[in-house]
Structure 1
Amino acid sequence: MRKNPLNALWAARKPAFGTWATVVHHPRFMKLLAVAGLDFVIIEMEHSDFTIAEVGTLCLVAREAGIVPIVRPAGLAPHDYTRPLDAGAMGLLLPNIDSAEQLESILQATKFYPRGKRILNLRGPHTDYERLTRPLEQIAELNQETVTVAMIESQGGLDNLDAICRVPGLSAVMVGPDDLSQDLGVPGDLQHPSMVAAIEHVIATCDSNGVPWGFSAQDPASAAKWIQRGICWMPYANDAAALFNTFSNAAKQLKESAGR
């Protein structure tokens, strides 16, 4: 079974870089991202029309290509978490975690015995189709290699972050800036003092608990700024933004060259 390289990066306090798959669900996209040198890809189910079959194919190709597939689930039921994992996801990005109790209930559903009660499937994409011949040892390995990233997107999450960080099995924390700004009453104003204070609170709390933290970056300059601060989890842009930015800039320059 595959090791999850994100764990090694975080253990060394080094940042992991990735992006989002939000509109492109062709399997070759996973290979392209891997060859580009990214560490992980977040496969979006919460805000996309991706089916579980498409997600399973993306996860399978990502694993084979050498990039870590992380899924943001579509819902809150236990099978919304476990189906992507059984389909080969090597981790979950959990939206809107407000409390340690909420996170604990999800980990109970997504970790195998003895940490949780995830339904045991002895062979599948999640085991690279290797049968678990040493179940206790290999189940412990699966638990360790399946990462869990909690999104902080509300005042409640900020208030309870210290307790959230102490839940065994949490791998990293991510700020969800859009929803968080809305919950703080400043929707979309990511430079508002309330948002700045919230991000500093997340950094300080995670650092004090030894939990990797991060959020998305949209340009190299802002990415470099946060790398200097010690960010360990950075999804860079997404497929839709990369396509739009590339072709809108190209179209503008081409038309200017043609006098249009």
Structure 2
Amino acid sequence: MDIDGIRALLADDRPTVGTWLQFPSPDVAELMARAGYDWVAADLEHGSFGPGDLPDIFRAVECGGAAPFARLPEASKTWIKAALEAGAQGLIFPMIESRAQLDRAIDLATYPGQDGWRAAGETAPEYRGVGYCRANVFGKAFDAYREGRAPKLFLVAQIEHIRAVDELDAILAHPRLDAIMVGPYDLSGSMGLTGQFGHPDFLAAMERIKAACARAHARMGLHIVQPDPAALAREIAAGCRFIAYGIDTVFLWRGSERPAGA
């Protein structure tokens, strides 16, 4: 699956399902990509990745037939540039709480001249740095990358704080945003309800998010941390279209624990 395939799924109102990596292992990355997911995201926030790990991780994901994504540790110039230059085809921006934060993150992921979402005559204060890198074959394919793949980067805002829910209409109005992803643990934590996903206040916040996405015709997503096919089916039926399913570490724990009594 590549970005064009992912966009085709969404254009048909079908879900795109990926998974999460925390191990900086190209072998694990390739295995997860070959497991049938559309995209595989390196978790740079909670995983053990450094910038130097990313080229091999992304090569392995592509070898396995999935699109390489990165969940950034922060939506900063340094990390956005590192992930994109290593070859990420999608970025998941963490802790987006306002339209201003999202504007800056998307500016930093966009080459000069590719900010067509802005008003006529309005200039972005910051741009993606221009240079030779793995993503453009160290300059050999710079024009093809800049004009072909770069404008198709898949951009996702994580909604992880109740403040973001209050600002969600403005966030969803960004025309370059491809999807949002709810971070349930951080969202519940911001409400003083860490992990209490059945609490009425948390459920009410989730309904607000779903309603805002429906108003904006935006693609809602979330992370199903504990693999559960029934939960995946329920979320797809409920309208979620950008879903991360499981984590390499969780799959390993669940498959490797010694059976009780053995």
Equivalent pair of 2:43/2:71 in contact (CA under 8 Å): yes
Equivalent pair of 2:10/2:241 in contact (CA under 8 Å): yes
- TM-score, normalised via structure 2 length: 0.87
- TM-score, normalised via structure 1 length: 0.88
Deviation at 1:129, TM superposition (A): 5.7
Deviation per CA, 1:103-154, whole angstroms, max 9, x where unpaired?
A: 0011111111221621123x53323567347x4x752433332111100011
Deviation at 1:11, TM superposition (A): 1.7
Equivalent pair of 1:7/1:145 in contact (CA under 8 Å): no
Equivalent pair of 2:24/2:48 in contact (CA under 8 Å): no
One-letter amino acid matched to 2:11: A
One-letter amino acid matched to 1:21: L
Structure 2 counterparts to residues 1-260 of structure 1, below 5 A: 3-22=3-22, 24-114=23-113, 115=115, 117-121=127-131, 123-127=132-136, 131-132=140-141, 135=143, 139-217=146-224, 218=226, 219-248=228-257, 251-252=258-259, 256=261, 260=262
Deviation per CA, 1:155-197, whole angstroms, max 9, x where unpaired?
A: 1100111110111211100001111101112111011111111
Deviation at 1:57, TM superposition (A): 1.1
Inter-partner Cα distance in structure 2 for 1:3 and 1:227:
20
Equivalent pair of 1:95/1:150 in contact (CA under 8 Å): yes
Deviation at 1:238, TM superposition (A): 0.5
One-letter amino acid matched to 1:172: A
Inter-partner Cα distance in structure 2 for 1:145 and 1:128:
17
Unaligned runs of 5+ in 2: 116-123
SS in 2 for 1:98: coil
Between 7-16 and 98-107, report the one with greater CA deviation.
7-16
Inter-partner Cα distance in structure 1 for 2:9 and 2:138:
26
Inter-partner Cα distance in structure 2 for 1:176 and 1:4:
26
Relative distance call for 1:173 and 1:47 in structure 2 (3 A) is: same
One-letter amino acid matched to 1:120: V
One-letter amino acid matched to 1:215: L
Inter-partner Cα distance in structure 2 for 1:197 and 1:44:
28
Inter-partner Cα distance in structure 2 for 1:95 and 1:42:
13
SS in 1 for 2:74: coil
Equivalent pair of 1:4/1:146 in contact (CA under 8 Å): no
Equivalent pair of 1:21/1:43 in contact (CA under 8 Å): yes
One-letter amino acid matched to 1:17: V
Unaligned runs of 5+ in 1: none
Q: How many residues align?
A: 248
Between 200-209 and 173-182, report the one with greater CA deviation.
200-209
Deviation per CA, 1:72-107, whole angstroms, max 9, x where unpaired?
A: 123343111111110011111111101111100111
Equivalent pair of 2:16/2:241 in contact (CA under 8 Å): yes
SS in 2 for 1:216: strand
Relative distance call for 1:143 and 1:162 in structure 2 (3 A) is: farther
RMSD: 2.0
Identity of aligned residues (%): 29
Equivalent pair of 2:74/2:93 in contact (CA under 8 Å): no
Deviation at 1:64, TM superposition (A): 3.2
Inter-partner Cα distance in structure 2 for 1:72 and 1:147:
12
